[in-house]
Amino acid sequence: MRFLFYDRVLELEKKRSIIGIKSFALSEEFHGGHFGKVALIPGVIFIEAMAQVLGWLICYSYDFELSCIMSLIEGVKVPAQLRPGFEARIYGEMISTTDKDTLGKAWMEVGGERVASIERIIYTHFRETHPEELAERFVYYSGRRDLLGDFRNRAPKG
């Protein structure tokens, strides 16, 4: 089973920023084994949601020619007791990037109030062997079919 911790991408600006959205429902799979009978969102879910959204910005920014793995996070703040039944906006920004890695930051807001953040998140890059498949997955997972045209219509490299 693949776990996605965002529902769709709302805005995307290459090599700059991304905004995604996630509705946290009581029916989420991860509620089954956490916190006894009290439904709370585990902090690691907030971290993973922010990491997934920012990771897609990196892949998109490099025309899906590379992929990335989160390798370091610092300055993490997650809520101690947030119950399901809300929608969060997930923000990610690229601070600096090279062919080998990207430094970024991410945060989540509920009703305009920041509820979680990562001050510093570093991704290590690796070459993608099937960029077309990665682009298709991004379009499918993000709900943004309009972005596939950007990828298919890009100028050939070289």
Cβ contact 95:25 at 8 Å = no
Instruction: HSE, CB side, 13 Å, CA atoms: give it for residue 144.
Output: 22
User: How many residues are present in the chain?
Assistant: 158
- Cβ within 8 Å of residue 112, ≥6 positions away: none
The catalytic site residues sit at: 34
CA distance 76 to 131: 31
